[in-house]
């Protein structure tokens, strides 16, 4: 286990392999509560040993989708396959799936040990097998010495581990985690994120994680499924989602972004030029874009991909003038808010490379912003 988990993940991309069989297949699943579409026509493929994150704002239907995987809700329409078997109408107690609940749902009247053993007892395993598996699992999550404690004698972080151990001890094919880290404080959360990745590597389980925290999704996942109003809006690796958002919604949801509205003024297969009323020069993008001529499109530029300088660039494209309106010093970097002549405010981040910079750009200075042709992401919706 000397290699870091991230290193192994980089080579792990079964979704790019056309021959790979998805482990979980969600086909056109819709769930209605009354007239309300909690999950709306979702199709997803999740592969073995993935950590798949369902990311989205609160109320967008993540938990409902997860509960359909666990078997607590039945899809109004659509099908769910796990390892090739149609699970749509199998009750939760017969699914090879375990779930870690947002509230942890630790049985208050049982000790840590009894909680973890509960699932194995339902399988009617031998007593000594149960005992050894429970012990192994408690050691894995570092709770060995708390085996005899009752849940109310545990801290939040320990409860989270009990819940994790309890759902892992049955060796599920698929582990579902609903906001697994939301109840922990920041330090513990970061620590546990890496531990989750380690556990996944050790046991080779497939994870589906629900979270509303994009940082968490970025750190944990092999791929992210971004949800909005019950629909999946984009599926991709963290960097795909960040660097190649497919819509304004995605680019604005993940990280921060400057969005420039405009229309195509030059439309070639190898490049495009976008005229934008807010900017002094057009935006030049070094690849083609498929869009109806004359239609409104948007160019999204991340704050860290814009540079600030005092000299006016002599390029014809990809620059604009601005006045520094506000500066926030964050230590590792600074955030600049710059007002364009049109009144639009642009956000730019710059790393603080030098410790003493006497000549820093400061309030109310007139400056010029510039970016590379590869930086803008053009979205049509």
Partner 1 sequence: MNQGRNLFRTLVLILGFAFLYIPIVSLIVYSFNSSRLVTVWGGFSTKWYGALLRNDQILNAAMLSLKVAAISATLAVVLGTLAGLVLARFGPFKGRTLLSGLTTAPLVMPEVITGLSLLLLFVTMEQIIGWPAGRGMTTIIISHITLTMAFVTVVVQSRLSQMDDSLEEAAMDLGARPHKVFFLITLPIIAPALMSGWLLAFTLSLDDLVITSFVAGPGSSTLPMVIFSKVRLGVSPDINALATILVAIVAIGVIVAGFTMSRQQKQRERDAQMALAANQQMIESVKKG
Partner 2 sequence: MKALLKRAGLQGRSVVAAVPYLWLLLFFLIPFVIVLKISFSSSLIAMPPYEPLLHWTGEKVLQIKLNLGNFAFLVEDNLYWKAYLNSIWVASVSTFFCLLLGYPIAYAIARSNPSARNILMLLIVLPFWTSFLLRVYAWIGILKNNGLLNNFLIWIGAIDQPIQMLQTDFAVYVGIVYSYLPFMILPLYANLEKMDLTLLEAAADLGCKPWQGFLKVTLPLSLPGVRAGCLLVFIPAVGEFVIPSLLGDPGMLMIGKVLWTEFFNNRDWPVASAVAIVLLLFLVIPMMYFQRAQDAEAGGVHR
**Which of 319, 351, 322, 346 shows the shortest CA–CA distance to 334?**
351
- Say if CB 347 and CB 308 are below 8 A apart: no
Which 8-state DSSP code applies to residue 197?
Answer: H
Binding site for partner 2 (CB under 8 A): 89-91
- Of the pair 58, 126, the CB lying nearest ligand ADP is at 58
Rounded least distance, CB 94 to Mg ion, Å: 24
Q: Which of 40, 41, 48, 101 binds partner 1 (CB under 8 A)?
A: 101
Among 9, 45, 64, 158, binds partner 1 (CB under 8 A): 158
Q: How far apart are CA 298 and CA 381, in angstroms?
A: 8
Q: 309-314: list long-range contacts, CB under 8 Å, 24+ apart.
A: 309/367, 309/368, 309/370, 310/361, 310/365, 310/367, 310/368, 311/368, 312/368, 313/368, 313/370
Of Mg ion, ligand ADP, partner 1, none, which one sits near residue 33, judging by CB under 5 to 8 A according to partner kind? Answer: ligand ADP
- Rounded (10°) angle between helices 156-168 and 127-140: 140
Total binding residues toward partner 1, as defined by CB under 8 A: 36
Contact flag: residue 187 with partner 1 (CB under 8 A):
yes
175 binds partner 1 (CB under 8 A): no
Distance CA 208, CA 205 (A): 10
Site string for partner 1, 266-305 (x = CB under 8 A): ----------------------------------------
Stretch that binds ligand ADP, among 58-66, 74-82, 242-250, 281-289 (CB under 6 A): 58-66
64 binds ligand ADP (CB under 6 A): yes
DSSP symbol at 313: P
Give the CA distances from residue 132 to residues 39, 117, 144, 169, 235, in Å, rounded to whole numbers and listed in that order: 41, 10, 12, 11, 40
Residue 36 binding target from partner 1, partner 2, Mg ion, none, CB below 5 to 8 Å by type: none
The yes or no reply on residue 42 touching ligand ADP (CB under 6 A) is no
Binding to partner 1 by residue 92, rule CB under 8 A? yes
100 binds ligand ADP (CB under 6 A): no
At 88, list the tokens: 């749509």
Question: Interface with Mg ion by CB under 5 A: which residues?
Answer: 63
């Amino acid at each position: 286990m000397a290699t870091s988990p991230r290193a192994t993940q980089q080579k792990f991309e079964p979704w790019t392999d056309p021959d790979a069989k998805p482990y979980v297949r969600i086909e056109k699943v819709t769930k209605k509560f009354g007239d309300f579409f909690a999950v709306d026509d979702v199709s997803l493929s999740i592969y073995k040993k993935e950590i798949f994150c369902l990311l989205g704002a609160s109320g967008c239907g993540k938990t409902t989708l997860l509960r359909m995987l666990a078997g607590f809700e039945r899809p109004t329409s659509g099908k769910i396959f796990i390892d090739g078997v149609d699970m749509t109408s199998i009750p939760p107690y017969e699914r090879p799936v375990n779930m870690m609940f947002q509230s942890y749902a630790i049985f208050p009247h049982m000790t840590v040990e009894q909680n973890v053993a509960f699932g194995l007892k339902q399988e009617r395993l031998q007593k000594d097998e149960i005992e050894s598996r429970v012990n192994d699992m408690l050691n894995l999550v570092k709770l060995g010495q708390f085996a005899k404690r009752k849940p109310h004698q545990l801290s939040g972080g320990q409860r989270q581990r009990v819940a994790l151990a309890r759902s892992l001890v049955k060796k599920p094919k698929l582990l579902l985690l609903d906001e697994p880290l939301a109840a922990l404080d920041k330090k513990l959360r970061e620590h546990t994120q890496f531990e989750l990745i380690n556990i996944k590597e050790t046991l080779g389980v497939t994870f589906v994680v629900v979270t509303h925290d994009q940082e968490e999704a970025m750190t944990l996942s092999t791929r992210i499924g971004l949800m909005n109003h019950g629909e999946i809006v984009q599926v991709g690796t963290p960097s795909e989602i960040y660097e190649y958002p497919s819509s304004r919604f995605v680019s604005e949801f993940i990280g921060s972004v400057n969005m420039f509205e405009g229309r195509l003024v030059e439309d070639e297969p190898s490049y495009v030029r976008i005229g934008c009323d807010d900017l002094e020069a057009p935006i030049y993008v070094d690849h083609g874009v498929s869009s109806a001529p004359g239609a409104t499109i948007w160019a999204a530029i991340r704050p860290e991909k814009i540079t600030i300088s005092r000299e006016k660039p002599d390029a014809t494209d990809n620059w604009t003038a601005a006045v520094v309106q506000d500066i926030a010093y964050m230590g590792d970097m600074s955030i600049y808010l710059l007002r364009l002549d049109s009144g639009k405010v642009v956000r730019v981040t710059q790393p603080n490379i030098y410790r003493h910079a006497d000549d820093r750009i400061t309030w109310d200075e007139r400056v010029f912003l510039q970016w590379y042709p590869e930086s803008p992401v053009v979205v049509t919706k």
